[in-house]
Amino acid sequence: MEMGSGLLGLIVFILDIYAIIKILGSSASAIMKIVWVLVVLILPVIGVIIWYFAGPKS
């Protein structure tokens, strides 16, 4: 079970990093970038899902 949870944690971490890179590279205002990065950092799984559907596009 530990292997599965470790792998799941790694996948969530990679998705969070990907989301943060895309957020910082978007054309959104600086304040919105900060808000989105905080959402992704505070809510790692749900934040990435919300960002994917409602976040700033490049």
In the chain, domain spans:
2-54
Q: Which ranges in 1-58 belong to alpha helices (H)?
A: 2-24, 30-42, 44-54
Rounded to 5°, angle at Cα 29 from 11 and 45:
20
Return the pLDDT at 58. Answer: 63
Q: Which letter does DSSP use for residue 27 in this model? A: S
Return the pLDDT at 22. Answer: 94
Return the pLDDT at 1. Answer: 59
pLDDT tens digits, 1-58: 577 788 999 999 999 999 999 999 999 999 999 999 999 999 999 999 999 999 887 6
Is-contact 47 41, C-beta < 8 A? yes
